[in-house]
Amino acid sequence: MVQITEVRNAVSKNAENTLFELEINHPEYGWIPYALTPWDTDTTVDNSQLLALIGSDYEAFSQADEDARVAAFVRWQRDSLLHSEVDPIVSNNLRWADLTTEKQNEWAQYRTDLLNVPQQSGFPHTINWPTKPE
């Protein structure tokens, strides 16, 4: 087991203060990022020792920061769908022209629905993803 005697920049990532991101001073590698999680089964580093070293010296969990992180990830997912599914159809004049008016309307609505994901009432934690046209 690696003996860690110094930690810094600990940030709680949940309201229960059982999940942390921090830096540990590893005896071989120096200061490295570390995620302290309750489900970690690796015993190379003693997480209970790290919790003792952190004590009350950590940045408190912020629901607003967590919401912003989740919102950014959901927007990234949405943008990926726009790029991989919508753009190859909508921005290709030949493909678009081959579609019936009904299919063009379905694709246009799908694009609009993806763009409107951030306006959904449950955003960013509850997302009702639109269905891709067939």
The pTM for the full model equals: 0.67
Our CA angle for 78, 82, 85, nearest 5°, is 120
How confident is the chain (134 residues) per 10-residue block, as mean pLDDT? 94 90 96 94 91 92 89 97 96 96 97 98 96 94
Domain assignments of the chain as residue spans, ordered by start? 7-54, 63-119
Say what the pLDDT of residue 43 is.
87
Query: Would you call the peptide bond into 124 cis, given omega within 30 degrees of 0 as the criterion?
Result: yes
Residue 6 is predicted with a pLDDT of 96
Q: Which amino acid is at 66?
A: E
The predicted pLDDT at position 61 comes to 87
